[in-house]
Structure 1
Amino acid sequence: MFTPQFDDCIKDAINSARPFFTTGVPEYSIPPFDPWYADEVNQVRSGYKLKLKHVKEAGWQQSTITKFRANLEAGYIKFSQFFPEKYLEGEYITEAGGTTKGVWNMTLCKYLL
């Protein structure tokens, strides 16, 4: 872990595991997470409330970790991840002087996180 090769080793390991993002690894009870799903995501800010329901996010399997740096003594990890295409969709309810409901979707192309 405390070698100059550690960061590249972890980056390569995560990237080589991408085929399992859509299938999971049943023999280790690891479920798939592409697409990722959340029943509900809430955000409350001064002046409005936003509730996202039935959120689906896809595109993880095509992503690539481009940079990875760990400082285990300090307890942090920094990384960059590239998504050729990332797709999100769901339903929304907003409250800001009234209530609005509907469906939403977003496609991000060539997205670098």
Structure 2
Amino acid sequence: MVDNGRVDKAMKNGYLIKEFAEVGKKYTPEMAAAYQRRWAELIDEVKQNIKADPASETAQSLAKRWTDLLNEAYGDRPDLKARIGQAYTAGAVPDDYRMFGPDVWEFIKKVHEAAKKKS
């Protein structure tokens, strides 16, 4: 269960925002732009396939790419990756940092749940 109060407080105090900035230090401006572009492309593809069966090959491929992109930036910070997920689930990510809406997040969560059921 997500502790909305804790997530909100962390966001208001800028804790997660500072951690985002810390992770961003490992990227040159060009690398950061390319990374953001890949996210934008993936999010667009997710939106185009939002009605797909979460267990479908298409949905599973999108979720794998999602996980790969997350791990690229945050793989060495599982604590931060978990808090980002909690913040999105709680709706606590500030607009300036929100890359997608709750519909996209819910779809990705359903796809990951479908993958767990398969294995």
| TM score, norm. by length of structure 2 | 0.26
Higher Cα Rg: structure 1 or 2?
Answer: 1
* Greater share of residues in helix: 2
Higher RCO by CA contacts (8 Å cutoff, separation 6 or greater):
2
| TM score, norm. by length of structure 1 | 0.27
* Greater share of residues in strand: 1
